[in-house]
Homo-oligomer: A and B are copies of this chain.
């Protein structure tokens, strides 16, 4: 089956709701696993990688969770399809660079994705909207248990699961949440937060993980340590930190609104004005302006727009989604024009933001 036909629509994908999704855009748990007696993908010869792929792929496809699935070797995917998967956070940027000997199995709901021969033989992840770390852990833990019955995992009784990179040894778990933190950015508290979070053994990264920047004020917070702690303790620690960050973000927003509402209204208004009237706009500028619009939505300033619309636009303006939208490859200049056309179009019937938020109980604490 064609990937295009398989993927759910950007609208459907972006409009899923979850707990605390005012700030937490999505939650994810991924596990790193390897097959016993086989070299790690980075060290393996082509034939070894191929053998691992042939072992793992059918095992994953046959899981009950993957009843309806998309499954393909990475060389069967075009670079645009790979980029599309990256933009949906279904594969890593590293996996998008893989070709023959690597593979992907994806379930229909796009909640479970298994990368084969990324850095490890198996990188399986579960995704969910809002703050649902525990749910994604349960989902992927179940997948992992089933796979463990079918595949010979590389496991050391003292160290735990063995992985290509020592930072993943042990549980092989990485739990993360994607947070929208404009309040902390505007009050210039992000530095402090990043420092505090690091001291808890957690990491803060940009939108597409390691080494990417936080355009749109979107940050990924995840555990750093995989060894010497149980999965539930790791999850518990992350959840605790996330609740603290959420509280800090809500406080920052309240402070901003209280101290200088005109400044906020000005930024939000201008952002909407530009998004709904530009004829060329870069991905980075659009992300940052959409972040402001999302903040406006959270403040209740857009009576006829919701965060689902903004999430959808966040997704649609990414390069591959944009090219899928116009069904063709584009130069960066053309992309900037098409992106602006799409934004103007989608925002044509959205009224200009209010100058006053509605009474607090309608917008807060949801």
A residues neighboring B (CB under 8 Å)? 262-263, 265-266, 269-270, 272-280, 337, 340, 344, 348, 352-353, 355
Contacts and interface: CB of A to CB of B under 8 A. Distances in A.
Given A273-B274, A273-B277, 9 more contacts: A262-B279, A262-B337, A269-B278, A270-B273, A270-B274, A270-B277, A272-B273, A276-B352, A277-B353
A61 to B, nearest CB: 47
Contacts of A276: 273, 352
A352 B269 contact: no
A119 B86 CA distance: 71
A279 B261 CA distance: 10
Contacts of A348: 352
Contacts of A270: 273-274, 277-278
A67 B277 CA distance: 50
User: Which 6 residue pairs spanning A and B have beta carbons closest together?
Assistant: A273-B273, A273-B277, A269-B277, A266-B279, A265-B279, A266-B280
Nearest to A352: B277
A348 to B, nearest CB: 7
Contacts of A272: 273, 277
15 contacts: A265-B279, A266-B280, A266-B340, A269-B279, A270-B273, A270-B274, A270-B277, A272-B277, A273-B273, A273-B276, A273-B277, A274-B274, A276-B352, A277-B352, A344-B355
Contacts of A273: 270, 272-278
B279 A355 contact: yes
A106 B273 CA distance: 42
A170 to B, nearest CB: 51
Nearest to A269: B277
A342 to B, nearest CB: 13
Nearest to A262: B279
Contact of A280 (B262, B279, B280, B355): B262
Nearest to A272: B277
A266 B262 CA distance: 26
Contacts of A337: 262
A161 B173 CA distance: 93
Nearest to A265: B279
